[in-house]
Amino acid sequence: MNKRIYLLLLATALGLEPLGAMHIMEGFIPMKWCIIWYLIALPFVIFSYRFVARKIKASPRMKSSFALAAAYTFILSALKMPSVTGSSSHLTGTTLGTLTIGAMAMPLVGAIVLLFQALLLAHGGISTLGANIFSLAIAGPFVAYALYRLLSSLHLPKNIIIFVATFCGSMATYIVTSFQLAVVYPDAATGVMGAAWKFLSIFAITQVPLSIIEGILTVIVLRLLEKSQAKSPLTTAEVEASTTKKRNLRPQFIALSLLALICLALPILAGFFDIGSGTDDQAGEMIGRLTPGFSPTPFYHSFEPSELAEPLLFALQVAIGIALFAWGYYHLVYKKHSSNKEHEA
């Protein structure tokens, strides 16, 4: 019971961040489709909660792994980055948790991310929450996990496996979104497939370079975490030296700190430079062309930050995510090495 209470408290704390990720905006799809996607996504979220609860109950160290995976999703999904065709979009950040805990852990994280994103940043929506959970936290992670298992059976280099799984998982999120909109707004001449190609020209093409960046970044972070957790091959006498452990972990800690500072700076810089219109805005324009006279009918009016406040809120989100990542890293890595030291002594 205590483990379940801890999980709920942790999930609530994680959710207190305004997030920016891939999303269908509030009022962009009819209520009928909103209900359908809720019915599809809700069982995944429930099973995800039970899955994470069992993991934490079986191994207390899984708290740290869950915090790291969730924080990584929060940080990356806050990074709005310029891409091709004069547009901008967000990374997803779901593959690290998929590969370290399991794809079933991500619907819970995605639900928290998208819910508070809709409430605090006016990105996404409450009515469209089910559709967004399915694309970001179900389709993407499960595609990444399936590819990871498949490529692992072929005994390819691990870095290549992680990169391909991350790239395809990120792309799957945006491809699914394109078809979600195409089903609702088919092209008058070419039907659903014709509309899907139009939405793919917005979401998928924009996401290709960002998925490459996310794949490289995920490989780097996973490798740094693996090196940090690797048991040091030192003798007992060397382990007893108080500075040895710190020196052994210093390169990974410095590298992760530099990545954190870069992630913290990106949302602030985005507020000073024109990085192109977001894919969400372009999708809205495309719906208007496919359905003349279309006007969004929001079912929920959330707080909408000003143009000046939005990058600051994204930066705050990243800062909280970094703090959570640091907590998980400390408990997963430094406490493990301290335990190893006491055991060998």
Task: Give the model's pLDDT for residue 275.
Answer: 64
Query: Which residues does residue 8 pair with via DSSP β-bridges, in sequence order?
Result: none
Transcribe 280-339 into DSSP letters. HHHHHHHHHHHSTT-----S-------TTHHHHHHHHHHHHHHHHHHHHHIIIIIHHHHH
Question: What is the average pLDDT across 134-141?
Answer: 96
Question: What is the average pLDDT across 254-258?
Answer: 88
Give the type of residue at 14.
Answer: L
Distance separating alpha carbons of residues 211 and 217, to the nearest angstrom? 10
Q: Is the pLDDT of residue 232 over 60?
A: no
DSSP-derived 3-state class of residue 278? strand
Sheet strand arrangement including 277-278: 80-82, 87-90, 277-278
Distance separating alpha carbons of residues 228 and 112, to the nearest angstrom? 28
Say how many C-beta atoms besides its own lie within 10 A of residue 151's C-beta: 19
| DSSP count for the chain of H helices, then E strands | 14, 3
Transcribe 238-291 into DSSP letters. HHTSHHHHHHHHHHHHHHHHHHHHHHHHHHHHHTTS---EEHHHHHHHHHHHHS
What is the pLDDT confidence band of residue 12, given thresholds at 50, 70 and 90? very low
Contact in structure between 330 and 71 (CB atoms under 8 Å)? no
Percent of the chain with pLDDT over 90: 39
Question: What is the average pLDDT across 122-137?
Answer: 89
Task: Give the model's pLDDT for residue 277.
Answer: 61
Task: Give the model's pLDDT for residue 17.
Answer: 36
Which of 181-190, 204-213, 257-266, 323-332 shows the highest mean pLDDT?
181-190
Distance separating alpha carbons of residues 107 and 109, to the nearest angstrom? 5
Distance separating alpha carbons of residues 301 and 317, to the nearest angstrom? 21
Task: Give the model's pLDDT for residue 284.
Answer: 76
Question: What is the average pLDDT across 301-313?
Answer: 72
Task: Give the model's pLDDT for residue 80.
Answer: 77
Distance separating alpha carbons of residues 104 and 138, to the nearest angstrom? 8
Q: Is the pLDDT of residue 245 over 80?
A: no
What is the pLDDT confidence band of residue 235, given thresholds at 50, 70 and 90? very low
Contact in structure between 129 and 115 (CB atoms under 8 Å)? yes
Q: What is the mean pLDDT of the chain?
A: 81
Q: Both tokens of residue 156? A: 């390819």
Q: Is the pLDDT of residue 219 over 80?
A: yes
Question: What is the average pLDDT across 216-245?
Answer: 66
Q: What is the DSSP letter of 187?
A: B
pLDDT in tens, 259-280: 989 988 888 887 777 666 667 6
Question: What is the average pLDDT across 44-72?
Answer: 91
Question: What is the average pLDDT across 198-220?
Answer: 90
DSSP-derived 3-state class of residue 80? strand
If phi > 0 it is left, if psi is from -120 to 50 it is alpha, else beta; for residue 42 that is alpha
Contact in structure between 114 and 136 (CB atoms under 8 Å)? yes
Q: Both tokens of residue 101? A: 């805990």
pTM for this structure? 0.82
In this structure, the strands spanning 80-82 and 277-278 are unpaired
Q: Which of 41, 38, 22 is nearest to 175 (CA)?
A: 22
Q: Is the pLDDT of residue 302 over 60?
A: yes
Distance separating alpha carbons of residues 38 and 126, to the nearest angstrom? 10
Distance separating alpha carbons of residues 173 and 162, to the nearest angstrom? 17
What is the pLDDT confidence band of residue 113, given thresholds at 50, 70 and 90? confident
In this structure, the strands spanning 87-90 and 80-82 are antiparallel
Task: Give the model's pLDDT for residue 287.
Answer: 85
Burial class (CB in 10 A: 0-12, 13-18, 19+), 38: middle
Residue 90: phi and psi, rounded to 5, are -115, 155
Instruction: Measure Cα distances from 115 to 31, 46, 97, 206 in Å.
Output: 17, 15, 19, 24
